[in-house]
Amino acid sequence: MKKGNVKALLPIGVFLVLYLGLGIVFEYILKIPMGFYNIPIVVVFLVALLVACLQNRKLSFDEKLSLMGEGIGDKNIVTMLLIFLEAGIFVGVVGRTSAESVAYFMLSIIPPRFAVAVLFTVGCFVSVAMGTSVGTITLLTPIAVAVSRVSGFDLPLCVASIMGGAMFGDNLSFISDTTIAACNGQGCHMKDKFRENFLIALPAAVLTVALILFLSFGSEIAGEVSGEYSLLRIIPYLLVLIGGIIGINVFVVLLIGIISGSAIMLLTGSTTATELLVNMGSGAAGMFETSMVAVLVSAICALIRAHGGFDALLSGIKRIFRGRRGGQLGMGVLVGALDIATANNTVAIVMANPIAKEMAEDYGISPKSTASILDTFSCFFQGILPYGAQMLVAITAVNELGGTVSAFEIIPKMFYPFLLVISSILFILFSRKAKTGKEDVK
């Protein structure tokens, strides 16, 4: 292992200090709602890129531009950007109204006693179908508040169940930006990462349902929640989900979803052709920031690697984490620390990707396992962050409906993220691959 150059990591430090520092000032000193998400993250990354460009005077600026071009032009980065845009168009076409239909349909056929378990299950399905935890929480939190008021279930438990289900899909969905970033950053197929990840997520989800049911049977039930629903709009989501699981190319899967969603929206009169095109454009535009972050991080990491920063970081990690299992845990700690600092699991994964890829080569860890670890650990930390978008959106939605709940009331009842990280650690420590030391490296 080369000793490397610790000073080359300065751009990452500058980004973390600026973003975390400004976030704390906005959120806790100036009391700006959603303070962390009012910071122009693209601008902060541009500052970090400028710092990277000012380092290593042995290289001319033209040479540094060539290095950045090589980093941005990597096949996996280009693939990631195209999938981001296509996924955005898909969400723009089909809209988000089907989430309520799924929730009210399940609440109408399942006894009220199981209402909170239904909230978690619906959260899982909707987030897998939509690929967004924040979107899922935005749509389903009002239903969680209604369930609590009508049935008498504890409000923090209802909201925590929605949030846990939302993080399930954030971790597994084929159109989730975290999944796209992790898979393309490591160069693995989404279906391979899904199968690896599902073995970790399923036990956590099953145990979560069991815990929710245990608490539910000890609660007094006053009534049930009902609402109108239409299941026709779920078809595009199901096609995307099924196509992804059976291994159809992700571009083809999303194209099928876009075409089927467009046909359903037009034939049912839910939108006009003009509105549909506008929604497509809005969906693609919604991916601008995520795409720009991927571009800028790729450029920064190309310079850091050339300046010897990654060699220094890997050398430090190897002193602490030894062996294959240690390397996997080190990846989890790395992406978790970045998520705590950025409060954004997609950004954390994009930043961790190049470092984790080199770690995977050194430790002999397969791309699908690396992608799974990055996605799982980042989703755990993101799910329980008091200042994360998911938590802030949920609390804001409850407050707008006249309720009162705090992050520290919700966090202890978010069983799924805690069980997910426990399941991940156990999978790393006791999986057959870890014991035999054999793993297929792509």
Judge if 95 and 202 occupy the same domain: yes
**The predicted structure's pLDDT at residue 162:** 93
Instruction: Tell me the pLDDT tens digit for each residue of 84-110.
Output: 788 788 878 876 666 667 777 777 888
Q: Of the candidates 401, 379, 402, which has an alpha carbon nearest to the alpha carbon of residue 389?
A: 379
Is 292 a domain residue? yes
**What is the Cα–Cα distance from 73 to 78, expressed in whole angstroms?**
6
Crossing angle of helices 367-384 and 415-430, in 10° steps, is 150
Is 317 a domain residue? yes
Return the C-alpha torsion angle 86, 89, 95, 98, nearest 10.
Answer: -20
**The predicted structure's pLDDT at residue 441:** 37
Instruction: Tell me the pLDDT tens digit for each residue of 314-357.
Output: 777 778 887 888 889 989 988 888 888 677 788 788 878 888 88
Is 13 a domain residue? yes
**The predicted structure's pLDDT at residue 220:** 66
Is 434 a domain residue? no
**What is the Cα–Cα distance from 55 to 10, expressed in whole angstroms?**
9
Q: What is the mean pLDDT of each run of 10 residues along the chain (442 residues)?
A: 74 85 83 75 90 89 91 79 82 71 78 87 85 79 85 88 92 84 88 90 95 83 67 80 75 86 86 90 83 84 84 78 86 86 79 86 90 93 82 81 83 93 92 48 36
Fill in the amino acid letter for 128: V
Among 249, 269, 285, the domain-final residue is 285
Judge if 62 and 93 occupy the same domain: no
Is 402 a domain residue? no
Q: What is the DSSP letter of 25?
A: I
Is 265 a domain residue? yes
Judge if 106 and 146 occupy the same domain: yes
Is 20 a domain residue? yes
Q: Of the candidates 371, 394, 384, 369, which has an alpha carbon nearest to the alpha carbon of residue 415?
A: 384
CA distances from 168 to 14, 126, 164, 410, 433 (A): 32, 10, 6, 17, 24
Which residues lie below 8 Å from residue 423, measured CB to CB, with a gap of 6+? 200, 201, 203, 204
Domain count, the chain: 2
Do the Cβ atoms of 318 and 363 come closer than 8 Å?
Answer: no
Judge if 64 and 104 occupy the same domain: no
Domain of 304 in residue numbering reads as 6-71+288-388
